[in-house]
Amino acid sequence: MTLILGLESSCDETAAALVDSDRRILAHRVAGQEADHAPYGGVVPEIAARAHVDRLAPIVAGVLADAGVTLADIDAVAATAGPGLIGGVMVGLVTGKALAHAANKPLIAVNHLEGHALSPRLADPALEFPYLLLLVSGGHCQLLLVKGVGDYRRLATTIDDAAGEAFDKTAKLLGLGYPGGPAVERVARNGNPHAVPLPRPLVGSAEPHFSFAGLKSAVARASASGIHSVPDLAASFQQAVVDCLLDRSRIALAACPEARAFVVAGGVAANGAIRDALTDLAAHFGKPFVAPPLWLCTDNGAMIAWAGAERFAAGLTDDLGVAARPRWPLDPEAEAVRGAGVKA
């Protein structure tokens, strides 16, 4: 049994957790920064980095105290080393290096996307490789065949915005505040998903990728027309996102008969309408559908600790000289896609 301390600071959650190789989560703490960024309607990188500096050390002390252990009891320190907002990533990685050095333990530099990709295995011991993963968050929208630890095939990514980004931008333009996803979902419950005609970018195209920027602009135009209510706009937008995710996932499922399960992860996986639609799609393909509990879907330290545990078991540790990476694709062989806003 090994015990891993995991640190996460790549976006606007400061988080740490202690997870062991038997999938026990001994302690986890997450501090969001919603109040810090709310006045700006989105995450401000410099504010995020400074908040991580203030909050990470007490959070690490807190999880050690919660679990009743000291640094001497852990086997390795895992820290997100990218991709993400570089200032924040550096805070977590440097903290991880310092703790590893001080305690004389190995460091594991974790790709944040690998944290999301492997987190379903923390929640579900029966989930075996390979599985098809739809990773939908504020920064990413990808379909990945997860073949093993450190072994990923990227089937699709977004050519512009990520799905969560589209939710956040739509919420902003509808005046629903930040973070946008939960606000849009709440308001959409009172709206008609078929009231506003909106495009489904790339649906029906043989190109496997995602695109959401045009959808967001269409919501802006529909909103400006003054014809539609905010609930109808929110519900129709959410339905368009559902239809895009389903269409792209269908292509990927058809291309990966070897996948043993269809898995969703990332903050957008918290959306009930999206979860329901993906559940039906998995059933249609005869695959088990796996979605981690909601707290494990949004950014957290446990997914980084667990990815660290999986890498440690595979003998993968890193030098203290390892660099933070703003961009870090999980699949280095993946073809470049058109579009300027590609995140990884």
Q: Which is nearer to Zn ion, 43 or 233 (CB)?
A: 43
Tokens of 174: 């509808």
Sign for the pseudo-dihedral over CA of 3, 76, 117, 146: negative
Tokens of 298: 């949004």
Single out the residue of 271, 334, 307, 269 nearest to residue 112, CA to CA: 307
Q: Rounded to the nearest whole angstrom, what is the least distance from the CB of residue 84 to ligand KG4 in the complex? A: 8
Residue 298 touches which of Zn ion, ligand KG4, none (Cβ within 5-8 Å per kind):
ligand KG4
Largest CA distance in the chain: 64
Q: Which is nearer to Zn ion, 20 or 165 (CB)?
A: 165
Given a contact cutoff of 8 angstroms between Cβ atoms, the answer to whether 185 and 271 are in contact is yes
Residue 8 touches which of ligand KG4, Zn ion, none (Cβ within 5-8 Å per kind):
none
Given a contact cutoff of 8 angstroms between Cβ atoms, the answer to whether 241 and 141 are in contact is no
Residue 181 touches which of ligand KG4, Zn ion, none (Cβ within 5-8 Å per kind):
ligand KG4
Residue 167 touches which of Zn ion, ligand KG4, none (Cβ within 5-8 Å per kind):
ligand KG4
Single out the residue of 241, 283, 240 nearest to residue 262, CA to CA: 283
Relative orientation angle of helices 230-255 and 272-284, to the nearest 10 degrees: 30
Residue 96 touches which of ligand KG4, Zn ion, none (Cβ within 5-8 Å per kind):
none
- Contact residues for ligand KG4, defined by CB under 6 A: 11, 137-139, 164, 167-168, 179-182, 185, 266-268, 270-271, 298-299
Burial class (CB in 10 A: 0-12, 13-18, 19+), 342: middle
Q: What is the CA radius of gyration of the chain?
A: 20
Single out the residue of 221, 173, 169 nearest to residue 197, CA to CA: 221
Q: Rounded to the nearest whole angstrom, what is the least distance from the CB of residue 153 to ligand KG4 in the complex? A: 21
- Contact residues for Zn ion, defined by CB under 5 A: 137, 299
Q: Which is nearer to ligand KG4, 92 or 138 (CB)?
A: 138
Q: Which is nearer to ligand KG4, 67 or 134 (CB)?
A: 134
Residue 270 touches which of ligand KG4, Zn ion, none (Cβ within 5-8 Å per kind):
ligand KG4
Q: Which is nearer to ligand KG4, 99 or 117 (CB)?
A: 117
Helices (H), 179-229: 180-188, 213-224
Q: Rounded to the nearest whole angstrom, what is the least distance from the CB of residue 200 to Zn ion in the complex? A: 25
Q: Which is nearer to ligand KG4, 3 or 270 (CB)?
A: 270
Q: Rounded to the nearest whole angstrom, what is the least distance from the CB of residue 164 to ligand KG4 in the complex? A: 3
Q: Rounded to the nearest whole angstrom, what is the least distance from the CB of residue 297 to ligand KG4 in the complex? A: 7
Q: Which is nearer to Zn ion, 33 or 137 (CB)?
A: 137
SS3 289: strand
Residue 268 touches which of Zn ion, ligand KG4, none (Cβ within 5-8 Å per kind):
ligand KG4
Q: How far is CA 86 from CA 44, 327, 338, in A?
A: 12, 9, 23
